[in-house]
């Protein structure tokens, strides 16, 4: 048995943020019924295609373990089918542009009339306020949520990160809200509205930067490299380069081969408790008792000198050798892994975090499996559905339409060919 077995999700999501949420629920055993526009489907099916006429990796990697029904929610028969889906399902998840579902006739009030136990979960770019009506994509959320202004290097452009914290990050937040609402429904018997705004999700992940905004009003941020470099602080939290976000200074340092390999680097954290081991490893045992270096406070204005000496050592080793030497000494380091290395990493395959999936029209491809492991509810990654692959199956098995009725629904054009 899977954790969410028996839970039916009416999945009205598209692009990335919503689909990451419903994919997680599907991995935990929910029956996710993806509703797509007849003949069109989720726009990502056709975006960034690497093989002509085949569902893109963008789509396949975000829609595992789901069933697909083609259904026009704006057409009369389609609306009737949709109403039956609302009455049958436990959760409706959507990330349309603001107002789209209301225009289709499925406002929260209407949903409650149809099914008071329904949990209706939405992702929007912004919460209520001046930008509530905006359409939003990943990088807009990264900028509006505080990530871009605090990412990059001092004096250079604000920078977005490759981690999809606006889309996949908010999908995660929404999944957490849905499961919590399902838990409350156990006691209350009632559904409820769950909303997650992308700006809010990004800001939640940037919590430490709002912490620093308040600290900066009381004095310089001494753990930021610019403090030791005598670059004055402004009024807002600056970009911190590769400084670590915590109180333990860390940086990205060159490793052997950096001249030709763009990923031959390590992250190196000068954890206070490991300082003596660090001094021994890098050949600076005298720093253990040197008043300029012996304490974390003394080191703060000298981070460039300190990391320079550490880099003189790391550059003589590969990033993996640095890891092998430092780990037993409790010195926290991490190799900068390329996607090529991650794709080939056997330990990630062994845990199901990287999986090979077979697809009828694309063949084999790699995907990221469920990063959350439940001991009693293992996740098996099943390929994404073709457009409308399960239309008839859902009409008959989930919605109990007769063969005759299904023929009529097809004839109306509400569910595609
Ligand atoms: N049947 C009938 N109509 C359907 C349908 C179906 N099965 N599925 C979608 N549609 C319609 C919608 O009702 C909408 O129609 P309307 O504008 O006439 O009311 C239309 O398709 C387009 O929906 P929309 O959400 O506006 O798509 P878009 O491509 O213009 O915008 C986003 C895409 C992502 C910008 C927008 O959906 C958005 O801002 N979503 C919220 C934030 C978000 O999740 N962003 C991140 C995405 S990764």
Phi and psi angles of residue 59, each rounded to the nearest 5 degrees, phi first: -75, -50
How confident is the model over 214-235, as a mean pLDDT?
93
* Whether residue 16 has its Cβ less than 6 Å from ligand 1: yes
Q: How far apart are CA 207 and CA 190, in angstroms?
A: 32
Q: How far apart are CA 108 and CA 111, in angstroms?
A: 5
Q: Where are the beta strands (DSSP E) in 100-212?
A: 119-124, 193-197
> Could you confirm whether 167 is annotated as catalytic?
yes
The pLDDT of residue 240 is above 90: yes
pLDDT (tens digit per residue) in 241-300: 999 877 789 999 999 999 999 999 999 999 999 999 999 999 999 999 999 999 999 998
Q: How far apart are CA 167 and CA 16, in angstroms?
A: 6
pLDDT at 11: 98
299-303: long-range contacts at Cβ-Cβ below 8 A with a sequence spacing of 24 or more?
299/249, 299/270, 300/222, 300/223, 300/227, 300/228, 300/249, 301/227, 301/228, 302/228, 303/225, 303/228, 303/249, 303/251
Percentage of the chain modeled with pLDDT above 70: 100
* Whether residue 73 has its Cβ less than 6 Å from ligand 1: yes
pLDDT (tens digit per residue) in 355-371: 999 999 999 999 999 99
Catalytic residue of the set 167, 200, 212, 243? 167
* Whether residue 95 has its Cβ less than 6 Å from ligand 1: yes
How confident is the model over 376-397, as a mean pLDDT?
97
pTM of the model: 0.96
CA 393 to ligand 1 center in whole angstroms: 25
Q: For residue 35, which atom of ligand 1 is closest to its CA?
A: 7
What does DSSP say about strands 66-70 and 31-36: parallel, antiparallel, or unpaired?
parallel
Question: Across all residues in the chain, what is the average pLDDT?
Answer: 96
Which residue has the least CA distance to atom 20 on ligand 1?
100
Mutate to test the pocket of ligand 1, among 12, 100, 125, 388 (most ligand atoms within 8 A of CB): 100
CA 99 to ligand 1 center in whole angstroms: 9
Q: For residue 74, which atom of ligand 1 is closest to its CA?
A: 2
Residue 199: both structure tokens together: 């700006």
pLDDT (tens digit per residue) in 66-92: 999 999 999 999 999 999 999 999 999
Residue 365: both structure tokens together: 């491809």
Tell me what percent of the chain is helix, strand and coil, each rounded to the nearest 5.
Answer: 40, 15, 45
Q: How far apart are CA 22 and CA 120, in angstroms?
A: 13
* Whether residue 15 has its Cβ less than 6 Å from ligand 1: yes
Q: How far apart are CA 353 and CA 168, in angstroms?
A: 16
Rounded alpha-carbon distances, angstroms, from residue 14 to 22, 97, 234: 10, 11, 40
């Amino acid at each position: 048995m899977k954790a969410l077995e028996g839970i039916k999700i009416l999945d009205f999501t598209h692009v990335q943020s919503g689909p990451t949420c419903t994919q997680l629920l599907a991995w935990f055993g929910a029956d996710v019924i993806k509703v797509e526009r007849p003949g069109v489907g989720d726009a990502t099916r056709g975006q960034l295609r690497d093989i002509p006429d085949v569902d893109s990796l963008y789509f396949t990697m975000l829609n595992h373990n789901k069933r697909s029904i083609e259904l026009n929610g704006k057409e009369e028969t389609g609306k009737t089918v949709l109403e039956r889906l609302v009455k049958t399902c436990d959760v409706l998840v959507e990330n349309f542009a603001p107002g789209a579902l209301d225009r289709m006739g499925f406002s929260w009030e209407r949903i409650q009339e149809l099914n008071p136990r329904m949990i209706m979960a939405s992702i929007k770019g912004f919460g209520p306020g001046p930008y509530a009506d905006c359409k939003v994509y990943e990088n807009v959320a990264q900028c509006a949520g505080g990530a871009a202004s605090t990412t990059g290097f001092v004096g250079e452009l604000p920078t977005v990160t490759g981690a999809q914290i606006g889309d996949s990050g908010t999908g995660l937040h929404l999944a957490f809200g849905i499961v919590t609402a399902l838990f409350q429904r156990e006691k209350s018997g009632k559904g409820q509205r769950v909303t997650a705004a992308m700006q809010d999700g990004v800001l939640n992940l940037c919590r430490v930067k709002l912490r620093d905004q308040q600290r900066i009003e009381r004095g310089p941020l001494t753990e930021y490299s610019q403090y030791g470099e005598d670059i004055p602080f402004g009024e807002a939290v600056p970009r911190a380069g590769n400084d670590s976000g915590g109180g333990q200074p860390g940086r990205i340092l060159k490793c052997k081969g950096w001249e030709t390999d763009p990923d031959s680097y390590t992250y190196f954290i000068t954890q206070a408790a490991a300082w003596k081991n660090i001094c021994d490893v890098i050949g600076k045992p005298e720093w253990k008792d040197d008043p300029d270096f012996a304490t974390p406070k003394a080191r703060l204005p000298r981070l460039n000198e300190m990391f320079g000496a550490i880099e003189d050592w790391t550059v003589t080793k590969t990033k993996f050798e640095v890891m092998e030497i430092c780990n037993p000494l409790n010195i926290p380091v991490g190799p900068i892994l390329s996607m090529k290395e991650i794709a080939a990493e056997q330990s990630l395959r062994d845990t199901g975090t990287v999986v090979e999936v077979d697809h009828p029209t694309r063949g084999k491809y790699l995907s990221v499996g469920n990063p959350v492991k439940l001991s009693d509810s293992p996740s098996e990654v099943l390929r994404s559905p073709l457009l409308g692959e399960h239309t008839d199956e859902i009409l008959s098995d989930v919605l109990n339409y007769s063969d005759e009725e299904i023929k009529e629904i097809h004839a109306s054009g509400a569910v595609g060919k």
